[in-house]
Structure 1
């Protein structure tokens, strides 16, 4: 901006007094110097002193987008200094300010008297009504160089009623996204800390890094210090959060002593194909994290990785993994270290026949202080070729070859419940081939849309593997669920340490009705039949016998505002359920209702070993333009107790946010079978937009 440039103006009428050097302009006056513009009904400019005076509907437009209104303005020093009477202003961030008078110095400082500030728009029905919230102060300073507004003797008014007083208050003026200074304090009450307050300080170190220090002062604990550091590079970013503190004796947690935690991550782009990163998470204990509200976690994972991408055709990843158990009841000796884990895959694209080939390899070395230590090499080749015949049938040929090799130590001490014992090594290969046939039969239902009936049969064959895989380590195939999702998979195990063998036939019937409005009613039912029983499947898995359990899926969505999706697995002989998962959503206007039901039997290799039989209900709605409320709950009907309850309510408009949340998780003491709320949270948040957020939390 050229601050030494001349003052240029236009007006309906102009007078010039050569004796005094005063220029007077009247009627739709617009004067500017550099990027500052002044509009008024009357404007006088003394060429000898450089003083300009404007009156009548005065508007002053600043280079940063601020617009100031006044009854009378006197400006000097190239419009940089001045006195304003009856000031009103629209700030760059959308805030509104009013004062009886103001003085500007050096073009960067505004001193205001009897000032009122708010980010709320005037009420359309009653513009003179007080805004939802406003800050009122005896004096205030708008520092355009520091980009900050500072108040003296300030009060917060809600609906025109004073609710809070402070002798000093400051906040950013909204023209910069990052600024050093104290952030809004956070208040709360917990059974571990008592009453507490967080006082965060934000330090914008430079354009690429910042640091937030957050001391926690409480009535039951010594002060705790938390920190968060962030930095961006041209090739990546890092972020680290941590804390140090001390737990006093006699707390509800039953522990005391020095505590700390570090949660950090980094992501870096090496070149157009390669990137690397790390996640480092460590802590002194779960109770320390719980007490100072840094998150309740049972274990912490840490990783370091490098991976490369070459379009959709190829991908490779190398990583190292370590886990820290935080609960004293866990046996840390069986927590694994994965050093390293290597995965790579390659896709050939469509070949001349229309099929495609995928090659991958997944190799790792797992070490434990006690229990099984495993080294494994695994490679897979997968080929798929689809064809459509003259009758419309879809034929798909699939083939999958797995080759694996293991070495292990202390197999009989593994935490994954396999048997065998000692150290050893083994190598296996497994070939699976399948021919999949399905015939989509479609007929028009006229104005009711179209209907589909699709039978599907798949023949899968390969060598019988028996139960020999149970004598090998199982690191990646513990979590298993037979459903419609993997009915037609060549191997139903998700990993490589367990392989499915033998010859089988999979069959399913799918039907669907597609409505003209986009609605759909769909159902699928199917099961699997094998020649020889596969001993690698547990008896309760649904695949333990030659004929499998029934699996099915139903989806009802006849209209856009209603949908139900259900999945189930039923015993092949008795029809007794082994898994049921149903979710439904009903939307009426701005209100959405949800309901769910879940029933699962325990998995042999996972915790907890208890049947889950739960129902859930939820509702969320918008009330008018600004309010939204919701509630959600889960109840275990097997043991007749609640699992979770949550409720929330929020109001939000252009200048104000009020939010309340209540969450209660229930647990059962295994020693006494007594039900108790394991985690109860009450969160209140008040946001004054352009000023800051204020919160209260109780546990």
Structure 2
């Protein structure tokens, strides 16, 4: 039989709160007033309950929301043991045999426990296990002062839950509020008796929410030592912390042998930066920085810079990027989507995927805008760089100012008006420069016929005025009317499927027809800066038919969930101008009908997609498809997926792009991408990403093969340190 004793001491909560993770138990204390009772050694058959005298302990204020020592003193503690006695002269309480001390969520197990309520000393011996919300402490012998929280643990280990950090050693001493010293110790963020990796050090000092520092350290993979360092510094925190990140190495035909050493700087809670130092044997020394920030609640952005100092005949090259969005005083919004590179060689060297290494231009855009209900004012600076040829003739918009009035209803009528306007200065080093003022007011209506058909006619007038650097007239102008009208309707029916998750299924049919007219006017006297300077004549009818299947069911919280299973649209155009031109010249082949376009998006479930878009021309002979694009994607929600894409444009491109993601071979995870040019019968790109994922470390291998370059990259990641494996940082794309 066990004896149970209620004590008015802060035995375990103060010990657990300071020795394990320095966070005292929260909540209101439960004060109990007791009368001291001396307890002599009892016979096991006669249970007794004692409430010993409370000690005169010092008081501590509540800091950072933690419970004070005075509150902890009033919290009841329950002790269960095979044997309990009191030494009145020495002031000790002794508990022996299967001792369990509990208070709230904290418990202590040991063979023997002694407590002195006057000095606040506690001594536990034999199979000591202390468990609380913050972690677990195990050892052979524990000696600690409850008032200071300082003490020592012989032959033991400490586990910190929040950081998933394990410490073990011959002797662990707590010398400060959050600091431990360990003699001949080890540490790791892996779980298990035999962790996947750990560091050992002769002398180790660990600060919770700080660092683990040690001398003469060895790094072990399993039980095999693979690295020695005279000094180790390892973060013991979940928050961002300044320090070196894991290095990576690899080889590329274009870059040569490559080694990257990144350094992370936690500047403040709202700012951080990553610095890169890369050695590229074929190119030189790469230096880069990524700076991230958040100011206030909405001003956020990221700036990136990378520079390579060329060696061995290779020239210098650099790249700059700045992405930003945020409000300014007065309701203005400023955004930046800027990118600049010294030459096309940069992306050929550092671009990792299609769309990067084959870029033909880069754009830098700064935008300042403000909105007033349905009025938007926007100013923009846009600079473009042609990476394929001479950039001196590339037009720049420096600046462009736009004022747009969205559709505004006129009183209570069915009529609305809108305005599109812009003023642009086109500049380039060589060639015609000039300014253009563009105005397009428009009047539209929304009519309903028999509450079935929606009719939306629109008439607009586009006015363009130019001032150029030519020797001709001071300015040029050209106005042009345009007219369009759209007639549409919707027919739908709701079904109640049987034995399906879907509660309602709506099928809708939406036919529409649109007429557009723009007169044929000579515009050759106008300068040609962009597509707005040559407005094509139009006199055509377009018509389409849309089918939709939309399901509805109740979510977990009872709110309705909608999902579009199928979208199918058939459309075609009839060119009236083309039909009339053919009548004037009977020898011309009459082709007023455009290709028949089919668009279909099929989503049987959240992880499956089939997207089809093609144009079929029945009069084109053997090549009746002018375009054919097909995208299929499937994900099972467990990390496995496949994506396949086919792109075809008659006499232009034809290629396939497939991506596979597998976690079927755990702990090996595989991603593979393959792009192939069917038109020229050649490989475009092959990329394989392999990850061997252990419980607390990962090894990454990336293989890439594209035209002009083959490369591989190896990156190692330890739990808690993160992974950076892209040469050139994010400016180099890739990982």
The structure number with the bigger radius of gyration is 2
**Number of the residue aligned with 1:425:** 476
Closer, same or farther in 2 for the Cα pair 1:81/1:647, shift >3 Å?
Answer: same
| 1:534-549 equivalent positions in 2, closer than 5 A | 547-549=592-594
**Equivalent of 1:322, from 357, 380, 383?**
383
Cα drift, residue 410 of structure 1: 6.9
**Number of the residue aligned with 1:335:** 394
List per-residue Cα deviations over 1:631-688 (Å, max 9, x = no partner): 23222222211222233333546533343333333xxxxxxxxxxx234343333322
Cα drift, residue 137 of structure 1: 0.5
**Equivalent of 1:81, from 150, 165, 189?**
150
List per-residue Cα deviations over 1:125-171 (Å, max 9, x = no partner): xxx5x34x221413353432671112444444444444444443322
- Does residue 201 of structure 2 align to residue 138 of structure 1? yes
List per-residue Cα deviations over 1:264-288 (Å, max 9, x = no partner): 3444422473222445544443435
**Equivalent of 1:366, from 420, 426, 429?**
426
On the 8 A contact 1:594/1:619 being kept in 2, the answer is yes
- Does residue 101 of structure 2 align to residue 29 of structure 1? yes
**Equivalent of 1:247, from 279, 286, 310?**
310
On the 8 A contact 2:714/2:725 being kept in 1, the answer is yes
Cα drift, residue 331 of structure 1: 1.0
List per-residue Cα deviations over 1:324-383 (Å, max 9, x = no partner): 44x4x5212112221212234333567746776543333322111123434222334363
**Equivalent of 1:631, from 659, 672, 675?**
672
Closer, same or farther in 2 for the Cα pair 1:470/1:617, shift >3 Å?
Answer: farther
List per-residue Cα deviations over 1:73-106 (Å, max 9, x = no partner): 1124834432112322222222333333312212
On the 8 A contact 2:253/2:709 being kept in 1, the answer is no
Alpha-carbon distance between aligned partners in 2 of 1:510 and 1:48, rounded to the nearest angstrom: 85
Please state whether the residue corresponding to 1:693 is helix, strand or coil: coil
Please state whether the residue corresponding to 1:11 is helix, strand or coil: strand
Please state whether the residue corresponding to 2:708 is helix, strand or coil: strand
Alpha-carbon distance between aligned partners in 2 of 1:134 and 1:166, rounded to the nearest angstrom: 15
Cα drift, residue 243 of structure 1: 4.2
Alpha-carbon distance between aligned partners in 2 of 1:589 and 1:207, rounded to the nearest angstrom: 34
**Number of the residue aligned with 2:258:** 196
TM-score by length of 1: 0.75
**Number of the residue aligned with 2:542:** 506
**Number of the residue aligned with 2:4:** none
**Number of the residue aligned with 1:598:** 647
- Does residue 177 of structure 2 align to residue 119 of structure 1? no
On the 8 A contact 2:248/2:715 being kept in 1, the answer is no
Alpha-carbon distance between aligned partners in 1 of 2:636 and 2:120, rounded to the nearest angstrom: 67
**Number of the residue aligned with 2:241:** 179
Please state whether the residue corresponding to 2:723 is helix, strand or coil: strand
On the 8 A contact 1:547/1:572 being kept in 2, the answer is no
Alpha-carbon distance between aligned partners in 2 of 1:22 and 1:662, rounded to the nearest angstrom: 68
- Does residue 631 of structure 2 align to residue 583 of structure 1? yes
On the 8 A contact 1:140/1:149 being kept in 2, the answer is no
Of 425-434 and 559-568, deviating more is: 559-568
**Equivalent of 2:176, from 97, 106, 128?**
106
**Number of the residue aligned with 1:385:** 446
On the 8 A contact 1:320/1:341 being kept in 2, the answer is yes
**Number of the residue aligned with 1:225:** 287
**Equivalent of 1:646, from 682, 687, 706?**
687
- Does residue 334 of structure 2 align to residue 276 of structure 1? yes
Please state whether the residue corresponding to 2:168 is helix, strand or coil: strand
Closer, same or farther in 2 for the Cα pair 1:626/1:471, shift >3 Å?
Answer: farther
Closer, same or farther in 2 for the Cα pair 1:83/1:444, shift >3 Å?
Answer: closer
Please state whether the residue corresponding to 1:200 is helix, strand or coil: strand
List per-residue Cα deviations over 1:4-28 (Å, max 9, x = no partner): 9468454347655443343445643
On the 8 A contact 2:361/2:384 being kept in 1, the answer is yes
On the 8 A contact 2:279/2:285 being kept in 1, the answer is yes
Closer, same or farther in 2 for the Cα pair 1:535/1:411, shift >3 Å?
Answer: farther
Structure 2: gaps spanning 5 or more residues: 1-23, 25-58, 62-68, 554-562, 582-588, 729-733
Alpha-carbon distance between aligned partners in 1 of 2:285 and 2:488, rounded to the nearest angstrom: 68
Structure having greater relative contact order (Cα 8 Å, sep ≥ 6): 2
**Number of the residue aligned with 1:397:** 456
RMSD over aligned Cα atoms: 4.3
Alpha-carbon distance between aligned partners in 2 of 1:303 and 1:627, rounded to the nearest angstrom: 42
Closer, same or farther in 2 for the Cα pair 1:565/1:262, shift >3 Å?
Answer: closer
List per-residue Cα deviations over 1:369-417 (Å, max 9, x = no partner): 1234342223343635253635xx43221314142313154789xxxxx
**Number of the residue aligned with 1:148:** 211
On the 8 A contact 2:184/2:204 being kept in 1, the answer is no
Alpha-carbon distance between aligned partners in 2 of 1:354 and 1:625, rounded to the nearest angstrom: 63
On the 8 A contact 2:243/2:264 being kept in 1, the answer is yes
Closer, same or farther in 2 for the Cα pair 1:553/1:696, shift >3 Å?
Answer: closer
Closer, same or farther in 2 for the Cα pair 1:156/1:368, shift >3 Å?
Answer: same
Paired residues, number: 624
**Number of the residue aligned with 2:370:** 308
Cα drift, residue 111 of structure 1: 2.0
- Does residue 132 of structure 2 align to residue 72 of structure 1? no
Alpha-carbon distance between aligned partners in 2 of 1:545 and 1:68, rounded to the nearest angstrom: 88
Closer, same or farther in 2 for the Cα pair 1:523/1:201, shift >3 Å?
Answer: closer
Cα drift, residue 582 of structure 1: 1.9
On the 8 A contact 1:275/1:308 being kept in 2, the answer is yes
Alpha-carbon distance between aligned partners in 2 of 1:474 and 1:375, rounded to the nearest angstrom: 11
Cα drift, residue 249 of structure 1: 3.2
Cα drift, residue 426 of structure 1: 1.7
Alpha-carbon distance between aligned partners in 2 of 1:248 and 1:612, rounded to the nearest angstrom: 38
Cα drift, residue 43 of structure 1: 3.4
List per-residue Cα deviations over 1:425-465 (Å, max 9, x = no partner): 22313231314144647697987998969584525254522
- Does residue 348 of structure 2 align to residue 285 of structure 1? no
TM-score by length of 2: 0.72
Structure 1: gaps spanning 5 or more residues: 123-127, 413-420, 478-495, 537-543, 602-609, 666-676
On the 8 A contact 2:631/2:646 being kept in 1, the answer is yes
Cα drift, residue 612 of structure 1: 0.5
Alpha-carbon distance between aligned partners in 1 of 2:419 and 2:615, rounded to the nearest angstrom: 33
On the 8 A contact 2:246/2:717 being kept in 1, the answer is no
Alpha-carbon distance between aligned partners in 2 of 1:205 and 1:40, rounded to the nearest angstrom: 44
Closer, same or farther in 2 for the Cα pair 1:24/1:157, shift >3 Å?
Answer: same
Cα drift, residue 522 of structure 1: 5.9
